[in-house]
Amino acid sequence: MSPDALNSLFSLFIGFALAGALASGYQMMAERPAGFGLLQQGAVPKTFAAVPFLVFAAPFIIMRNTLRGARIERRRFEFVMMATIISGFWSLMSGTFFLMTLRAAGVLT
């Protein structure tokens, strides 16, 4: 496996792990699962604070909603596959950003 492919795979895993940790932490603190409904509260500071959180927690939320929908609503395979690809790409991008931030801070070399 090439170093670039390994780096991308690591970014993908870090992105999903970060998303899961953020969503689980939110659920522990707020005692309800995180969702995109956090953006539907109007133009208040709480909504603006939810945007950065949702940027990094979105892959977990998308996959959770997709898998629940596939089980409960019997969604088609194509829909589940497309949501999985979107969530994976989003996770790859957020993981890459997170790793770049750690490298810029000097935590990683």
One pLDDT digit (tens) per residue for the chain, 109 residues: 899 999 999 999 999 999 999 999 999 999 999 998 888 877 778 888 889 999 999 999 999 999 988 888 888 889 999 999 999 999 999 999 999 999 999 998 7
Reported pTM: 0.86
Would you call 43 exposed, middle or buried from its count of C-beta atoms within 10 A (0-12, 13-18, 19+)? exposed
Q: What is the dihedral of CA 69, 73, 78, 80, to 10 degrees?
A: 10
Domain ranges of the chain: 3-104
